Amino acid sequence: MRLIVIILQVAWIGLTECRRNPESEKQLRKSVLQDYDKLSFPPSGNTSIKIFIHGISIHNLQMHEDTHSLEVQSLLSYGWTDLRLRWDLSEHMDLDRLGMEPDQIWKPDLAVYNTVNEDFRLHKSQLPLLVYPDGSVMFEPPVHLHFTCVMDLTYWPHDTHNCSVMIGSWVHNGFMMDMEVTSDTPKFNIESHTMDPSVSINIYEWEVVEAKMARMTHHYSCCNEPYVAMKVSLLLRRSAPAYAWSVKTPALCMCILTVVLFLLPPGAGEKLVFGGLCLILDLLFIAYTSNIVSHAPTHTPLIIQLASQQLVLVVVSVLLAALVLRLAKDPHPYPLPSIFKSPAITLSYFLCLSNYTKLVASTQQEYAFAAKTEEVELGEDCSDDDSIRRVNPRGLYNHQWLLLAAIFDRLALLLYLAICVITLIRFSSVL
């Protein structure tokens, strides 16, 4: 009995080694490829290209705003049936699969319809494929998809893009070659970890909000036959927290910083210096983000509109500051016209400028006292010009014009605050 068991074990080992003999695989490959024409279409009436359950496995993606394109590195798993590749298991040592080079057999002429490259062909990989005894073939090559994706950068840096790639046969119509998508969701492999496709996935600075696969049928004006393709849609949202510090915060601070221009006293020469500084900061910010404008063919990004609008506001504010400074600093030989003086005094109380009104009133009292003293000393025979020149204290009329300048400055402050609030509400989607 022991001898019989040993004999059976040796026989089984010998049979196994025989099955694993490379010569048997070599003979099978020679038999399968005998009289095989890799350029001709398989003889079956309708060759079905089946996209398996993990039809496309995305490993990495990169968005190019300058060319409006998206690059995707992935694996595409699909298979088809070629009856010319069948063999009998009993005649070939029960070999249940055979690895072959992709250039040895016929492959579907899959192409990327909306590619950016000049070469539309999808197959560039030389990795082997698997052939099974029933003639079915499974191929899982790595593919580099570089396709167009027109971007709407209106809400940059919170922009969202819907990009789609179309993969289908370049020559054969749907009656000759059909596609069957067995899964409606791509698979994501990020850093060798499989992630749940139902949850948003972050790939570098992009968040995959939604990903879908679907079978699409198109009819063209040239032909009556349908053409079948697979459509992979990706909804991508920019996820770059650094933009909150490098773009959003400076834009918000520049809007608030201009308020200081109106908080300075109306006669302060620092107004023009500070306004020029604000202009330089706005120009630097626009130069920093100007490359985005050239990448937006349809809509100007709101953040650029905000910076440009702020630049115009600063220019107007500097011009107004120069006018206010002239009113406050220039010598005025004539008093403020009564048509402006009475409304100015009334508005000063509502604009919290009562200190300027008190300054005008105190100056008038000093003038009245000085005029009375000069009349007693000089007498009424003195000329009017000499009397006015001697009794008028310096700054009598200047204080009246200073009050008008302060009112203009305060009204400009209120108007700018209103515009600033409206601007922040309008551009709140990007701030």
Rounded distance, CA 163 to CA 417, Å? 41
Instruction: Report the pLDDT value the prediction gives residue 223, as an integer from 0 to 100.
Output: 78
Q: Residue 215's domain is classified under what CATH number?
A: 2.70.170.10
Across the chain, what does the average pLDDT equal? 78
Q: Is residue 180 over pLDDT 50? A: yes
Residues 270 and 226 in one domain: no
Residue 4 in domain: no
Residue 2 in domain: no
What contacts 43, CB < 8 A, 6 or more positions away?
A: 83, 84
Beta bridge partners of 431: none
Residues 231 and 252 in one domain: no
Looking at 208, 238, 268, the residue that finishes a domain is 238
Instruction: Report the pLDDT value the prediction gives residue 33, as an integer from 0 to 100.
Output: 87
Residues 202 and 337 in one domain: no
Rounded distance, CA 286 to CA 284, Å? 5
Q: How many domains does the chain have?
A: 2
What contacts 300, CB < 8 A, 6 or more positions away?
A: 154, 293
Residues 270 and 305 in one domain: yes
pLDDT digit string, tens, across residues 35-49: 888 888 887 655 667
**Least confident interval from 7-16, 37-46, 356-365:** 7-16
Residues 215 and 310 in one domain: no
Residue 418 in domain: yes
Residue 422 in domain: yes
pLDDT-based confidence at residue 314 (cuts at 50, 70, 90):
very high
Rounded distance, CA 319 to CA 87, Å? 89
Rg of the Cα trace of the chain? 41
Residue 14 in domain: no
Looking at 192, 219, 238, the residue that finishes a domain is 238
Distance of CA 81 to CAs 12, 177, 325, Å? 34, 11, 86
Residues 153 and 296 in one domain: no
Residues 147 and 271 in one domain: no
Residues 223 and 124 in one domain: yes
Residues 183 and 270 in one domain: no
Looking up tokens 């009133």 gives 361
Is the separation of the CB atoms in 404 and 328 below 8 Å? no
Rounded distance, CA 405 to CA 331, Å? 13
Query: Other CB atoms closer than 10 Å to residue 395's CB: what's the count?
Result: 15
Looking at 214, 238, 262, the residue that finishes a domain is 238
Considering only residues 16 and 171, tell me which one the structure prediction assigns the higher pLDDT: 171
Domain carrying residue 87? 22-238
Residues 401 and 367 in one domain: yes
pTM: 0.71
Q: Is residue 122 over pLDDT 70? A: yes
Residue 12 in domain: no
Residue 268 in domain: yes
Distance of CA 296 to CAs 65, 117, 312, 413, Å? 8, 21, 22, 35
Residue 13 in domain: no
Rounded distance, CA 64 to CA 76, Å? 22
- DSSP, res 121: B
Looking up tokens 């694996």 gives 75
**Which of 91-105, 287-301, 368-382 is most confident?**
91-105
Residues 95 and 47 in one domain: yes
Residues 285 and 215 in one domain: no
